[in-house]
Amino acid sequence: MDKSKSIRKHWDSIFSKTEDLMMGWYEQDPKETFRLLNQIQHWQDSTFFISGAGTSVLVDELLIKKTKLILNDISNEALATVKQRLGKQAKEIIYLCQDISKPIETTIPTIDIWIDRAVLHFLIEEKNIQGYFDNLKTHLAPEGYALFAEFSQIGAKKCANLPVHRYSIEELSGRLGASFKLLSSFDHTFINPHNEERAYIYALFQQLED
């Protein structure tokens, strides 16, 4: 089985068997994401790309603000849950179901704000991490934003039974390159639904126009 297929199978199995509230990354209030978003003027007018949406309620909250959304996830099960939950509103969204480390071949609108919470850190192989950043740089608008929430260097070494690559601000900055400016960052200890601490770093970058 190719690697992407086995990853999809892993996540589909989790999303088909687990209640949202029992997932170790599930948050009822994505307030740290909004803490960064609120630093962007007129973010409500943006086109968002969510690299691995899972079943996050961030989607519902962005829809309330009438933002344009492109939702990606490698798991069909996760996307199906979101579609069902959103009902009629689901039609307003562009859905992709792809391994985000592989080139996006579908035509999608230019992205103003790329959001990744707890997706990038599952990419372990260097070629996959590079593939991820190639996608981001290809599809982000010239002055677009990239918002990350990843396990920090003191964070857990595994999640969902998979190893993770833990991030520092320096590594995120280095991988984005000199054409991105760090606007804001902070550490956050997320208390997960099992009452365990999970150390995250949050960071907001902006691409600078040439």
Report the distance separating Cα 150 and Cα 201, nearest Å.
6
Query: Is residue 117 close enough to count as binding ligand SAM by CB under 6 A?
Result: yes
Pairing of strands 68-72, 94-96: parallel
Of 82, 104, 113, 119, the one binding ligand SAM (CB under 6 A) is 119
Report the distance separating Cα 164 and Cα 162, nearest Å.
6
Of 46, 67, 101, 206, the one binding ligand SAM (CB under 6 A) is 101
- What secondary structure letter does DSSP report for 167? B
Binding mask 6-35 for ligand SAM (x = CB under 6 A): -x---x-------------x----------
Query: Is residue 75 close enough to count as binding ligand SAM by CB under 6 A?
Result: yes
Least distance (Å) between residue 27 CB and ligand SAM: 6
Least distance (Å) between residue 85 CB and ligand SAM: 13
* DSSP structure string for 50-106: ETT-TT-THHHHHHHTT-EEEEE-S-HHHHHHHHHHHGGGGGGSEEE---TTS---S
Of 69, 78, 80, 136, the one binding ligand SAM (CB under 6 A) is 78
- Span of 85-93, 97-105, 134-142, 201-209 interacting with ligand SAM by CB under 6 A: 97-105
Report the distance separating Cα 190 and Cα 27, nearest Å.
9
- Span of 46-54, 134-142, 171-179, 200-208 interacting with ligand SAM by CB under 6 A: 46-54
Does residue 52 contact residue 100 with C-beta atoms inside 8 Å?
Answer: yes
Report the 10 Å Cβ neighbour count for 141. Answer: 16
Least distance (Å) between residue 178 CB and ligand SAM: 26
Query: Is residue 100 close enough to count as binding ligand SAM by CB under 6 A?
Result: yes
In whole angstroms, how far apart are CA 52 and each of 123, 179, 203? 12, 24, 17
Query: Is residue 150 close enough to count as binding ligand SAM by CB under 6 A?
Result: no
Query: Is residue 202 close enough to count as binding ligand SAM by CB under 6 A?
Result: no
Of 36, 37, 118, 203, the one binding ligand SAM (CB under 6 A) is 118
CA dihedral 168, 169, 173, 175 (to 10 degrees): 20
Q: If 0-12 CB within 10 Å is exposed, 13-18 middle and 19+ buried, where does residue 108 land?
A: middle
Question: Which residues in this chain contact ligand SAM in the complex, by CB under 6 A?
Answer: 7, 11, 25, 52-54, 56, 72-75, 78, 99-101, 117-119, 122, 159-160
